[in-house]
């Protein structure tokens, strides 16, 4: 039923008897892992598979599924861990709802959901996804106003989200993490990129972001980014860069 290394677990409905696939997936995945009720939305035979990569403060869930609704009720939300889910649509069509906000994005977009609040996620066609379960305590240290991000979408043209997707592809292409130090470093990179994706704002056609690279504010502006004071509490962009990446130097 499962295959695993020290850092990965894989589940698939193909491993279950066909007549029992939906019931067993509801029990194993729906109630045992995701804390949700699962309801197919058409007569297509139900199929799903997911592989989990386990990292410190981060779990990567990547897989595919046929059309279905995944409903986190108030009762089931109370069972959840204190995590932030960043769900990226890789193919197909999907919607999500939390806090009475319907989130509709295309391939390459992401939804931010809080596990302790009710939500509904619907795969409208056969599609694939990558969902990050991020420890809220770790992400909150990078995004002070994290609650404002919940129940909202991140657009597919967000450059930090694009970079995160490419990084996740590289991580998933590996077999396993050889040491805890490597796993911790990968986890830190994922949390950083998720935080950057949240910081990126699109207002009046101008993009605002902060970048963990060796750039002066002048060069950042020259690349087309709007660098604002106080993007992270009372820190300027340059202050945050120096604190988060002390080894970085301000280039002229």
Residue 136 clears pLDDT 50, i.e. is over it: yes
Residue 98 clears pLDDT 50, i.e. is over it: yes
Q: What is the rounded average pLDDT for all residues in the chain?
A: 79
Determine the topology of domain 3-199 in CATH: Jelly Rolls (2.60.120)
Distance CA 71, CA 86 (A): 16
**Model confidence at 93, in pLDDT bands (50, 70, 90)?**
very high
Distance CA 37, CA 23 (A): 11
Distance CA 197, CA 56 (A): 20
Where in the chain is CATH 2.60.120.10?
Answer: 3-199
Mean pLDDT of 59-86: 90
Helix, strand, coil percentages in the chain from 3-state DSSP, rounded to 5 = 35, 35, 35
Residue 6 clears pLDDT 50, i.e. is over it: no
Phi-psi region of 57 (alpha: psi -120 to 50; beta: other; left: phi over 0): left
Q: What is the pLDDT of residues 166-223, one digit of tens each?
A: 999 988 887 566 688 888 999 999 999 998 887 763 332 333 444 444 455 565 555 4
> Who's near 81: CB < 8 A, 6+ residues apart?
115, 133
- Give the position of tokens 């207002």: 203
pTM: 0.76
Q: What percent of the chain clears pLDDT 90, i.e. is strictly above it?
A: 45
- Residue 161's closest CA among 195, 197, 185? 197
- Residue 242's closest CA among 231, 251, 250? 250
């Amino acid at each position: 039923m499962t295959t695993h290394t020290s850092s990965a677990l894989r589940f698939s409905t193909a491993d279950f008897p066909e007549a029992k696939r939906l019931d067993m997936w509801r029990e194993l995945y729906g109630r045992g892992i995701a804390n949700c009720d699962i309801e197919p939305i058409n007569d297509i035979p139900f199929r799903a598979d997911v592989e989990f990569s386990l990292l410190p403060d981060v779990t990567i869930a990547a897989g595919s599924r046929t059309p279905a609704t995944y409903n986190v009720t108030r009762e089931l939300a109370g069972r959840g861990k204190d995590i932030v889910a960043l769900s990226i649509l890789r193919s197909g069509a999907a919607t999500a709802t939390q806090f009475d906000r319907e989130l509709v994005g295309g391939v390459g977009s992401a939804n931010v959901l809080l596990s302790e609040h009710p939500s509904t996620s619907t795969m409208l066609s056969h599609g694939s996804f990558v969902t990050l379960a991020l420890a809220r305590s770790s992400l909150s240290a990078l995004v002070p106003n994290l609650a404002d991000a919940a129940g909202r979408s991140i657009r597919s043209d967000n450059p930090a989200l694009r970079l995160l997707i490419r990084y996740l592809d590289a991580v998933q292409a590996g077999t396993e993490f050889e040491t805890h130090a490597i796993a911790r470093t990968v986890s830190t990179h994922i949390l950083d990129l998720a935080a950057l994706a949240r910081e990126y704002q699109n207002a009046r056609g101008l993009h605002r972001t902060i970048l963990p690279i060796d750039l002066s504010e002048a060069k950042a502006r020259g690349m087309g980014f709007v660098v604002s004071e106080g993007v992270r509490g009372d820190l300027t962009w340059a202050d945050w860069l120096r604190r988060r990446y002390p080894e970085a130097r301000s280039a002229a």
